[in-house]
Amino acid sequence: TDSQIAALERKACDDEACGEIETAHPGYLGSQDTFYVGNLKGVGRIYQQTFVDTYSKVAHCKLYVTKTPITAADLLNDRVLPFYASQGLPMLRILTDRG
């Protein structure tokens, strides 16, 4: 029935993050995550650190052979923060899932 479908949709919305994040300007909020890319023969596991500005959708990424907090910080220090500094924009918030 329609009421059952509506109840299931409300439940699904409660179980996952719903809605949109609104940001005011570039540098207001960035999102960073790690993705497993695959396994390269002779190299091993490859991970991609990705950072996306949620306002401008500008993205930065780098490949690494480890998945550690050091690699997450390296992406920020090597690519993200210098880019925003060169544009005269402070990076105010960074959203991660700690993974």
Q: Which domain holds residue 25?
A: 21-95
Question: Alpha-carbon distance 6 to 80, whole Å?
Answer: 42
> Considering the domain boundaries, does residue 36 fall inside one?
yes
> Considering the domain boundaries, does residue 51 fall inside one?
yes
DSSP-assigned letters across all residues of 38-58:
EEETTTEEEEEEEEEETTT--
Question: Alpha-carbon distance 68 to 64, whole Å?
Answer: 9
> Considering the domain boundaries, does residue 14 fall inside one?
no
The pTM (predicted TM-score) of the whole model is 0.76
Question: Alpha-carbon distance 72 to 80, whole Å?
Answer: 11
pLDDT digit string (tens) for 53-80? 999 999 999 999 999 999 999 999 999 9
Question: Alpha-carbon distance 23 to 92, whole Å?
Answer: 11
User: How many domains is the chain built from?
Assistant: 1
pLDDT for residue 95 is more than 70 = yes
